[in-house]
Each structure stands twice: as structure tokens, then as C-alpha cells.
Amino acid sequence: MKIILKYFKPFILMAAVSILLLFAQNIMDLFLPRYMSQMVDIGIMQGGITEAVPKVLSAYDYDALTRYEDISYLYIHTDTAPPEYPNFDTSADWVLDPQYADVINDIAASVPYAETYQTAVLSVRSGKPMELDKSASVSNSQMAANYTQEAYERLGASKIAIQQKSIMSIGSIMLLITLGAAFITIANGFLSAKISTGIGRNLRKDVFGKVQTFSPAEFDKFSTATLITRCTNDVQQVQMVAMMGLRMILSAPITGIGGIIMALETSRRLSWIVAVAVVALLALQVIVFSNVIPKFKIMQKLQDKINLVTREALSGMMVIRAFGNEGREYERFRAANGDIAKTNRFVQRAMAIEQPSMQFIMGCTTLTVILLGAKAISNSELQIGEMMAFMQYVMQIIMSFLMIGMMFIMIPRALVSATRIREVLDTQTAITDKPDNELKTLNGRARGELRFNNVSFAYQDAEKCVLENIDFTAKAGETTAFIGSTGSGKSTLINLIPRFYDVTNGSITLDGADIRDIGVKELRDNLGYVPQKGILFSGSIESNLSYGKEDANEEEFRNAIRVAQAEDFVYADKDGLSTEIAQGGDNVSGGQKQRLSIARALVRKPSVYIFDDSFSALDFRTDAALRRALREYTGNATTLIVAQRISTIMNAEQIIVLDAGKIVGKGTHRELLKTCEEYREIAESQLSKEELL
């Protein structure tokens, strides 16, 4: 949850506005049933009359009322009705004094109507508050409205006009509330989408940025499949809950609590129905989600597994077909797919039970409200509109629990995803820079002298070192080559130079400075690295070569392509440098990949070239031509070559022979033939006696 809150901070102002809009929207939604109740009870049942006693009287009605009680001081004599009262065909003679209007109306609607004026007069005269008889208020208010309507009709008022005016007035308010709620919903949707996508964008950016700092040691901890899942599916889960949270997590309690309050205000007699429904809903959700929530963490791990199986199957399709193992891979995928389907099925079944169960509770609640509400209406304890409003509030309360149910599905998954994302972001990268005040600088470009000082290296948690006491100097302007049997540690040694790993013991210096004291970026800016497996990116040949140097011009590209012996296929196509490269370089051969990878390093013109068995896919003629051109092109740079072919390295100024992680030979080709048995065995297995010399 902390990581979600952390990424909310940049959007705190927008989130505050969204919450205010959400609150306003829910308040509007809660008031709609109340106005609907007024439209039914007042606009339809009472003919649009809201007052229990007439506000204006004709002389006839005034004389009739004074026969029962002295009410002369309650009304003011007038020749015409004030403008705030309805326009009548006949002028009113008496107007209810405004100072008595509220108390008279309250009493008239709450005591037996035959006693209305007598009780009202006594109460007003005495100035003492009186307890109102609420049980009689429904029938009395309707009787009072009927009398008031008759009094207005005797003044020439139109019954239909009064009713239409009331309905239109209440309807206009409801329409404005609905339009306002719709506008707020759209605005809140816009804000929540902007906030959630911003959170998703920042999370993906930070996760990807963090992954880019990982050394191979961190990649050993996280598989490629799980990193892809965490950067896509897990971020999507967090983004979704952020969006829905601003629309549902906050909306559900506002709607639920507000609905309960409004339902209680509408009818306390039926409030126990709401209490029973809420308890039943809570019990259902606790039972369902106590079983479902533990499955979410399992689902994310299963998602990693199916991504891993799919990725391996797609990337190794040629090998799978060559060995006829399509069935075996299908079974692997079927097993992984079956596991995630089984877990998903459990969750979906639980939710399938929850939905109809909640609908059943909703149906039972509605039926109970109708039965008891109808009885209350027949006993003049409740009005039709109030019962309809109460039902609406009950529906809103249940819908809020439905929303809470949905969030109980999303939030646990999002929390699991957030934890997985946090694991990536909190991972301490093994390869880091020292504080700025402790860093040494190469002043832009190094001379290129590279020295290994008794270097030993062991992989994390390994018991034995894979390299032991490696000691040599690679001078600028010279080529240093490495050869040895498979597993002798050649590639591991080379990978220590760009600090893919840090040495366990000893040190590596560049121009006399320990590479651990040099900023990683500055160090790698001085290296031209060509990996064992040529890796190209989707795009054009030019975009791939520009990885070496972003501001390189066409002439630099041409020179690098020429030296890498790639002219024959790059410029054979009419598009030249604009020729498209498919994902992973699948539309070029292995040898072409290697030559383009070499050209990419040559474009950079670094101080140190590192070729990690980068000529293995080249034929002998191309290999020889490339090495001749390379010697001239690299100039004063240091060149390090890992190779399996003696012919590739026999002209190097220094050849280092590795065996089981140790140096067993060091010197030129001729010197090693005399002094190193391992080198001589390799050379004699590849070259004739004449070629050896």
C-alpha cells in the first residue's frame, strides 16, 4: 500500500478535486429519491399543495372558519393576494400572517384534522410547544391539502395548473441534479483516468529504469518472464485499482452510509430491514473473500510461470521443431495453463456464488419493504412516495456493498502486484557508483591501458572461484587475446571489465584508476563491447549502429560497415542504412548479426574494444579480412579478443591461455607454442604444421 500512496503524491491535488467531486456526486444521488418522494406525495397525491392550511382565504371560507374558533388575528385583511401566492380569478380577502405560517402548518399536518384550527390557535396563543401526533400526519396532511386545494379553487385557481407547476418545479430540480451528477461523473472519470494512467506510467518507467541498472546477479534473482509480468500485468493491476479507487472505494462508503442515514430519516419503522440486509451482506462477503484472497498471490506466480513457458517456447521454436518436441512443449504449456485456469476458476466460482446471493438478499429486502410498506401506507403511517424513496435508498445501500465486493477482488490483487513491484524497486543493485566526491575521472577519454591485478571472482553464493589470481596488462595500441577450453572463464573475465560483475578479490585498473572508482557511465563510454551472441533491436540498420554513437554521421557509419565487412549485404539492398531489422534481428543471418554488432562498436571509437568470441559465425576469409581492417581502424585503442580459433588470435601481441579459471600461459603465438602445452594442443588440433609457423 505504501508504494501506491507514494506514487499518488504527484497527483494529490487532482485526487483531492476528484474526491470532492465524488462526494458532491454521491450527495446528489442521495437527494434524488427524496425529490422523487416529493413528486409522488406532493405533486401527485396532494395535487401540488404543500401547505396544510390555506395561505389565502375568500370571505366565504373566512366566515366559515370563524364559526368554530376566533382566528381573526391569524389572518390579515387584504384586497388582493400578494405576488408570491397563486394568481386567482377572484381576489383574496384574507392572507395568513407569515409569522404564524410555519407553526400552523406543522400542527395542522400532525393532529386530527377536525381539531386543526382549534389546536393551532390554542398553541399560538399560549406560546407553549406541543407534542405532535406523528401517527396521524399522513392522512391529516392529505386531508389538509384537499381542504386547501378546495379553498384555492373557490378563489378561481386551476387544480391542474397547481399540480403541473409543482411537478415541473420538482422535476426541474431533479433534472438539474441529474445533469450536475452526470457532469461530475464525466469530470471525475477524466481525473481518475489521468491519475491512474499517470501512476501506471511512472511505475513502468521506474521499474524499467531499475531493471536497466541490474547486474547479471539481479537477473539471476528475477527471471526475464517475471520482470515482464511485473512491468506490465502487475502495473496494470495497480493502475486499475487506482482508477477504480477514486470512483468506487470512496463512493461505496459514502453511498452506503448516506443511504442508511437517508433511509432512517425516511422511515424509522422500516429501518430494521436495512440493518438485517447489511448484516447479511457483510457475512456473505467475509465468507467469500476469506477463501478468495489467498488465491491472488498464487495467481500472479502462475502468471509468471505461463509467461516463462510461452516465452521459452516461442524463442526456441526452431529447436523444438528440429527435435520434434512440439507435443512435449504443448504438455508444458497445458500444465501451466491448467494451473492458472484452475485457480481462476476457483475465484470465478466464488464470485459466481456471491453475485446471485447478493441479488437474492436484494430481492428479499425489496419484497419485505413492499409488504411492510404497504401495510404502513394502509395504516396512514407512510406515504407512497416515502416507501418508494426508502426502496431506492435500500437499493443504493446494497449497490454500495456490491461495489465493496468488487473492490475486495481488485484491492488484494493490486496489493500483491504492488508488493511484487516493490521487490524490484527495493532491490539493491550490486554494481553502483561511489559518492561523487570519491569518484575518479578519465577526463572524457581514457588512454586504454588495462591491468588485472591478482583478480579472483566467485559468483554470488558460489563456494569456489571461477577465476583465480588473474594478472596481466593489456596495453594501448595492442591486441590481447584469450583462449581456452569451454568453461575456462574467458567470458567471465571479459564481463568484469564493463562491471557486469565486480571482482571478488584484487582489482582491475584503467589508466591506473580502479574501475570501481570510476563512474559506471564514464567507464562504459570508453568501451566498445561486442557480445558473444550478436543482439540487434527492431528498427533500421542505422538505428542499431547509432547505439554506438547517437550523433554519428553517415561517413562514420560507412567506415564502420566497411571495416566490419558488412558492405556486401547492407548496401546490396536499395534501402541501405534504412533497411529494416526485425525483432531480435531474425531477418538477418548469424554472421550478419555479428558483423553489424562489430560495426556498432566501431562507430563509437572507444579506448578499449572487447570482442567476446565475436567472429565465430564468420567464414575464414571474412574473419581474416575483418582482422586486417580492424588493426588499422582501432589505432591506439586497446583490443581484447576472446576466440576459439587460433587463426583469429595468432597475430595478437599478447595471448592469455586460461584453464579452469587460471592463467596457464601468457605470450605471443610462437612463445606459447614452446612454453604452453594447453595452447599447443589447441593449435595443433586446428592448424597444420605449416600453418602453425
430 is a domain residue: no
Q: Are residues 475 and 329 in the same domain?
A: no
The whole-angstrom separation of Cα 180 and Cα 27 is 11
Examine the domain organization and report whether 626 and 565 are in the same domain.
no
The residue among 289, 431, 417 whose CA lies nearest residue 351 is 289
User: What CA–CA distance (Å, rounded) separates 392 from 34?
Assistant: 9
Tell me the pLDDT band of 183, cut-offs 50, 70 and 90. very high
Q: Is the pLDDT of residue 83 over 80?
A: no
Strand partners, 508: 452
Q: Which of 397, 425, 453 lies at the terminal end of a domain, its last residue?
A: 425
What torsion, rounded to 10 degrees, do the Cα atoms 317, 225, 535, 465 define?
-110
Co-location of 412 and 341 in the same domain: yes
Residue 162 included in any domain: no
Start-end of H helices in 267-383: 271-315, 317-322, 326-378
Q: State which of 605, 625, 641 marks the end of a domain.
A: 605
Find where cell 410498506 sits.
373
The answer on 510 and 389 residing in a single domain is no
CB 90 within 8 A of CB 155: yes
CATH number (domain holding residue 339): 1.20.1560.10
In a domain, 617, yes or no: yes
Q: How many domains does the chain have?
A: 4
> Where in 475-572 does DSSP place strands (E)?
479-484, 505-510, 513-514, 527-530, 539-540
- End-of-domain residue from the set 542, 575, 605: 605
The confidence score (pLDDT) of residue 654 equals 92
Q: Are residues 265 and 217 in the same domain?
A: yes
Same domain, 61 and 29: no
Rounded to whole angstroms, the Cα distance separating 195 from 11 reads: 6
Q: Report the distance separating Cα 208 and Cα 231, nearest Å.
A: 7
* Farthest CA pair distance, the chain: 144
Q: Are residues 596 and 637 in the same domain?
A: no
Distance CA 513, CA 508 (A): 8
Is the domain of 618 the same as that of 566?
no
Q: What is the pLDDT of residues 445-465, one digit of tens each?
A: 888 889 999 999 988 777 788
Is the pLDDT score of 371 beyond 50? Answer: yes
Q: For 253-284, how does the pLDDT look when each residue is reduced to its tens digit (9 = 90+)?
A: 888 888 888 888 777 777 788 788 888 888 88
Q: What single letter denotes the amino acid at residue 385?
A: G
**pLDDT above 50 (res 134):** no
Is the domain of 202 the same as that of 73?
A: no
| 612: β partners | 642
Give all strands (DSSP E) within 36-82, no chain letters.
Answer: 56-57, 75-77
Domain carrying residue 193: 2-37+168-425
Residue 136 confidence (pLDDT) above 60: no
Category of 49 on φ-ψ map: left (φ > 0), alpha (ψ -120 to 50) or beta? beta
Grid cell locating 656:
592469455
Helix axes 384-425 and 224-231, enclosed angle (nearest 10): 140
Whether 354 and 367 share a structural domain: yes
Q: What pLDDT is recorded for position 177?
A: 92
In a domain, 204, yes or no: yes
CATH number at residue 634: 3.40.50.300
Are residues 681 and 581 located together in one domain of the fold? no
Q: Does residue 408 sit in the same domain as residue 486? A: no
Q: Cα-Cα-Cα-Cα dihedral of 415, 416, 422, 424, to 10°? A: -160
Q: Residue 646: inside a domain, yes or no?
A: yes
pTM for this predicted structure: 0.71
Average model confidence (pLDDT) across the chain = 81
657: Cβ–Cβ under 8 A, 6 or more apart, which residues?
483, 484, 663, 664, 665, 666, 672, 676, 678, 679
What is the rounded CA–CA span in Å between residue 540 and residue 546?
Answer: 10
pLDDT tens per residue across span 617-636:
788 888 888 888 888 888 88
Q: Is the pLDDT of residue 114 over 70?
A: no
210 domain-assigned: yes
Instruction: Give the C-alpha separation, 210 to 222, whole Å.
Output: 12
